[in-house]
């Protein structure tokens, strides 16, 4: 018996703390006492009758919420539920009738609407009591459903946020190895040529690794730091290809406090070198960052390339990765438009900034 009570108590506390159950029933009891006491101008009778009725109300409500609904409604056994509830209401009616006769009044019609209607039949009395019990059950069940729906909604939102955060972290872990793989290839090429630029490149690479591995820890990064990171990457490429690279960077507006997803723009810069240098004696890259109405950041980048050699390249994860990140972070509130015109690849990106 004690074990069953503990299980029931834990079930009740599962979504709504026990104290709120107590507060609800006490409030509802006081309301009913005042309501029927005022209606019949007999508060003593109202207290007695409610003391008899409320244990029955409570049993029916919890029977419905924690047993009948899970056992029948949630399993699609609707007829069995209706039959079981009807039997429970029938037993509750006769229990209340007997308790009223024993502890409250020896007249069935005493109190309530029947004070002035002594000729009412047993059937009408049962219907009225039946409707009253249904009202209490429906009211309490509705509260329970609303509370559980609200809790479930918040839980699903937290799960969605967790899933989003996990996927974004996974996408970022894809970016970092991809980036370092490309940079180490540059380092290898310089070492083969025994270039005097090798120490400077290693220092640049060290700075970039420090930024990626230690400085980028949040979901947002300072745009100016991201631009500095991009400049480091371009410097590394300049050390490798020397006079074959011509870059232009334009910044418009105040970017001092602008936060952006980390390692987002570097992917587009990498693609310029990846595709632009193949088959070209010289690559020209133009890049710009511009704030629009203090709400959006517009990023533009373009480079010349040889379209005949693009199909020979191994497909990387960069663009698809970035597009996936943008959809997760901004839903539909962003613009990503790549285009090709006269062997010049251009990309326009617009994202919200908060």
- Beta carbons of 274 and 313 less than 8 angstroms apart: yes
Mean pLDDT (whole number) for 93-115: 68
Please report the domains of the chain, with CATH numbers, ordered by start residue: 2-109+121-156 (no CATH), 168-352 (3.30.565.10)
pTM, two decimal places: 0.55
**Would you place residue 179 in the very low, low, confident or very high pLDDT band (cuts 50, 70, 90)?**
low
Q: What is the pLDDT of residue 112?
A: 45
Structure-token match 């309530």, residue found: 112
Q: Region 213-218: what's the mean pLDDT?
A: 71
Residues 6+ apart with CB under 8 A from 23: none
pLDDT for position 114 = 44
What pLDDT sits at residue 10?
A: 56
Residue 312 in this model has a pLDDT that exceeds 80: no
């Amino acid at each position: 018996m004690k074990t069953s009570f503990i299980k029931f108590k834990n079930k009740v506390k599962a979504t709504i703390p026990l104290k709120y159950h107590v507060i609800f029933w006490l409030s509802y009891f006081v309301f009913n006492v005042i309501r029927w006491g005022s209606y019949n101008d007999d508060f003593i009778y109202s207290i007695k009758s409610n003391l008899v009725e409320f244990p029955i109300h409570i049993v029916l409500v919890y029977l419905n919420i924690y047993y009948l609904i899970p056992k029948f409604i949630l399993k699609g056994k609707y007829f069995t539920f209706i039959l079981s509830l009807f039997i429970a209401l029938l037993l509750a009616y006769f229990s209340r009738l007997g308790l009223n006769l024993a502890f409250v009044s020896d007249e069935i019609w005493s109190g309530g609407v029947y004070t002035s209607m002594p000729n009412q039949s047993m059937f009408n009395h049962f219907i009225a009591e039946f409707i009253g019990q249904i009202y209490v059950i429906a009211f309490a069940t509705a509260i329970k459903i609303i509370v559980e729906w609200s809790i479930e909604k918040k839980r699903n939102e937290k799960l969605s946020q967790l899933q989003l955060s996990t996927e974004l972290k996974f996408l970022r872990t894809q970016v970092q190895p991809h980036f370092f793989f490309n940079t180490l290839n540059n380092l290898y090429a310089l070492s083969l040529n025994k270039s005097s630029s090798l120490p400077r490149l290693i220092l640049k690479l060290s700075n970039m690794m420090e930024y990626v591995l230690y400085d980028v820890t949040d979901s947002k990064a300072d745009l100016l730091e991201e631009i500095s990171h991009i400049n480091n990457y371009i410097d590394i490429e300049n050390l490798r290809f020397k006079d074959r690279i011509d870059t232009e960077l334009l910044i418009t507006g105040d970017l001092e406090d602008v936060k952006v997803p980390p390692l987002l723009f570097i992917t587009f810069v990498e693609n310029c070198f990846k595709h632009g240098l193949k088959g070209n004696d010289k690559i020209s890259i133009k890049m710009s960052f511009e704030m629009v109405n203090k709400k959006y950041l517009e990023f533009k980048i373009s480079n010349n390339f040889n379209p005949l050699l693009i199909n020979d390249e191994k497909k990387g994860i960069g663009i698809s990765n970035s597009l996936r990140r943008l959809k997760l972070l901004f839903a539909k509130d962003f613009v990503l438009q790549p285009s090709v015109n006269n062997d010049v690849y251009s990309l326009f990106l617009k994202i919200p900034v908060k």
